[in-house]
Chain A
Amino acid sequence: METVKKEKKDRVLSIRNLNISFKTAYGVVKAIRGVRLDLFKGETIAIVGESGSGKSVTVKTILGILDSNGIIDDGSIIFNYTDENGEKQSVDLVQMSQKEIRYQFCGKRIAMVFQDPMTSLDPTMTVGKQIMQPMIYHLNLSKKEAKLKAIELLDEVGIDQPEKRFKQYPHELSGGMRQRVVIAIALSCNPEILICDEPTTALDVTIQAKILELIKSIQKKNNISVIYITHDLGVVAKVADYVAVMYAGRIIEKGNINEIFYDPRHPYTWGLLSSMPDTDTKSRRLFTIPGSPPNLLEKIKGDAFAVRNPYALNIDFKEEPPMYDVGGQHRVASWLCDPRAPKAEIPVDLKERIEKMKKEATVYE
């Protein structure tokens, strides 16, 4: 574990007070409500949380691919990068049009890997051509240069016989190989930020492990910052330095990976961690969070999680909690962290599980 913190880390991305809504036939959906998040150079952050909590919308905004009915109501996304002349630049992505973002950054300085490699690859084009394209477009490489680089990339992402694979079509490759091709495309223009939305959900764990390790090693080599979105907490544990937990459009808890996994504070995070099947779950039933997420078409009063929260206080139904600093990098949006709040104990089963995890961890420390 890295305990010595570097003096001053370079901030690559800083999201402040982001608010996004969608116009729909049923009314306005308030999908993102005041998100604040930083991404530092070389760092990996994971965004976790319930379906529909706003994880994908957040990263789509960064990529300039927000759906056309989406509106950024407020906030800023400052992106700091070094331009072709080696000069430091800083732009607010919110002030740019989605088209400009895509033209200037997407696929070049900010690249992405999505869940289903089949939807991000063109079935009618050889994989080689698909890797060459962004390099010709963004880096002005000649065809010949692009081809050489493409074969190099295929090799780098661990595809054997790259010259042969270069000429193949996506359907001729296995799922794991296709995802490697998508990663090769994402890396082709030496991005500063790599965004992976459920990159390995459709793959088996052996291929998942290989792909995660591949991303890690390339990240280290090129000092890239990575944002992962995943439901798999095992994957989060493996890759993330920092974790943001989202619920109903807000980040409700964030902190470094150990703070979130060994010392969770928000009752939603407790529920999330408790729902994982433990390797020796004895009971016949798994823990689930009661109730269902709020309807984002309606105005949320107080804490969005209150109605499902057995620890809810009166104030939870009236006022939205602020973000409390609970030490270290750890921030929690829950009234339970207010000094005036009665002490709420973490659920016994989860506490035991965490104790066990910590004990296992001592062997590796």
Chain B
Amino acid sequence: MSEIKQPLLRVENLKQYFRVSKSFTTKAVDGISFEIYEGETYGLVGESGSGKSTTGRSIIRLYNPTAGKIIFDGVDISGKLTKEAEKHLRTNMQMIFQDPMACLNPRKKVKEIIAQGLLIHHKFETKEQLNDKVNRILDKVGLSAEQATRFPHQFSGGQRQRIGIARALVMNPKLVIADECISALDVSIQAQVVNLMRDIQDELGTTYLFIAHDLSMVKYISDRIGVMHLGHIVETGTTDEIFQNPIHPYTKALLSAIPHPNPVVEKARIALTYDKEKEGVDYVSAVQHKITDTHFVLATDEDFKNWYK
């Protein structure tokens, strides 16, 4: 391979703390590093409360990161943002949320919702061009021009999620952060949305950070995966490496807990468990150990010797 892949996003030692009270601070994200290459899908999975959403929100700068660096498309966006950096970020990075209703203004027609980003950032020259952009994206997500004159509440869950996707994609972003964007949908509609995301990626080369609990979907859509536990990325690798050769005991527990849609097997199977305290696993003095060029695990030297034989 002669082509050197460029990371579109580089996160270095990112920390995001929340001060809950005078005496208590939540270390939601506690020093994570990873890269996402152009045109790929990076899946972020892990325990509830492990900091996945916080990571996504810090990257898109809904928060001010406590420490660390975020380099997006060659620009450092981790500190105080210059006007230019802010504009670059707002137009090239978009987020799709779990609950599409929560981020769709109920009093605005679908068409207006989708055009909003373009209007704010003046990403069009003539009125025709604006209309054209909106219509093209509507077509791409499978909504008709007639439907675009309706209000969000007149749509089903799956259709609303399409509106959310259209709203994000009309900006032609380089990176889309999708946080649990399919978890509230039924299986068939999940499949529709995932297919749609894939089609758009094939066509436009969009890069995704895909945050989800449903590992069978993550496995299906991701090129690489990061596994989070208690604010740390404990393991990262290609989808095959994570699923075929998990090293960290949390990753192993996570994979074994995926329920198989096979009743006889599922009722007999017992999932592995992982208890950090009981097993005495230390994240603070652990370092990244390399297994392959793409596969890393967070471990102390001693743990690594035990886990990787």
Contacts and interface: CB of A to CB of B under 8 A. Distances in A.
B31 interface: no
Given A275-B188, A276-B261, A232 B266 contact: no
Given A1-B264, A276-B216, A205 B259 contact: yes
Interface string B200-227: 0000000000000111110110000000
A329 interface: no
Contacts of B258: 205, 234
A280 to B, nearest CB: 10
Interface in A261-319: 261-262, 271-273, 275-277, 279, 281, 284-289, 292-293
Interface in B137-170: 156-159
Given A51-B158, A284-B198, A286-B191, A233 B186 contact: no
A245 to B, nearest CB: 11
A203 B213 contact: yes
B287 interface: no
Nearest to B192: A288
Interface string A204-237: 1111111000000000000000000001111111
Nearest to A172: B20
A238 B266 contact: yes
Given A205-B215, A288-B195, A360 B262 contact: yes
A51 B156 contact: yes
A87 interface: no
A284 B198 CA distance: 8
Interface in B253-290: 253-254, 257-269, 271, 273-274
User: Which of A209, A232, A257, A292 has the most B CB atoms < 10 Å from its CB?
Assistant: A209
Contact of B257 (A206, A284, A360): A206
A361 B262 contact: yes
B194 interface: yes
Nearest to B220: A277
Given A175-B49, A203-B213, A207-B47, A52 B259 contact: no
Contact of B191 (A175, A236, A275, A360): A275
A288 B262 contact: no
A365 interface: yes
A208 B186 contact: no
User: Which of A202, A204, A209, A233 has the most B CB atoms < 10 Å from its CB?
Assistant: A204
Contact of A204 (B216, B254, B260): B254
A174 B49 contact: yes
B85 interface: no
B188 A261 contact: no
Interface residues of A, number: 53
B46 interface: yes
Given A49-B186, A276-B216, A277-B219, A204 B195 contact: no
Given A51-B158, A234-B266, A288 B191 contact: yes
A22 B239 CA distance: 46
A236 B46 CA distance: 22
A287 B191 contact: yes
Contacts of B194: 286
Nearest to A284: B198
A125 interface: no
A50 interface: yes
Interface in B229-267: 253-254, 257-267
Nearest to A243: B263
A233 B191 CA distance: 14
B62 interface: no
Contacts of A289: 188
A205 B217 CA distance: 13
A357 interface: yes
A364 B264 CA distance: 7
B259 A364 contact: no
26 contacts: A1-B264, A49-B186, A51-B186, A175-B48, A176-B49, A204-B47, A204-B48, A204-B254, A207-B47, A208-B257, A209-B257, A234-B216, A234-B266, A237-B260, A238-B259, A272-B187, A275-B187, A275-B190, A276-B216, A286-B191, A288-B188, A289-B188, A361-B264, A361-B265, A364-B265, A364-B268
Given A51-B157, A208-B257, A236-B263, 7 more contacts: A50-B189, A175-B48, A201-B184, A205-B254, A237-B262, A237-B266, A292-B158
CB-based closest 10 A-B pairs:
A234-B259, A361-B264, A286-B191, A205-B257, A175-B48, A364-B268, A237-B266, A233-B261, A277-B220, A237-B263
Interface of B: 45-50, 156-159, 183-192, 194-195, 198, 213-217, 219-220, 253-254, 257-269, 271, 273-274
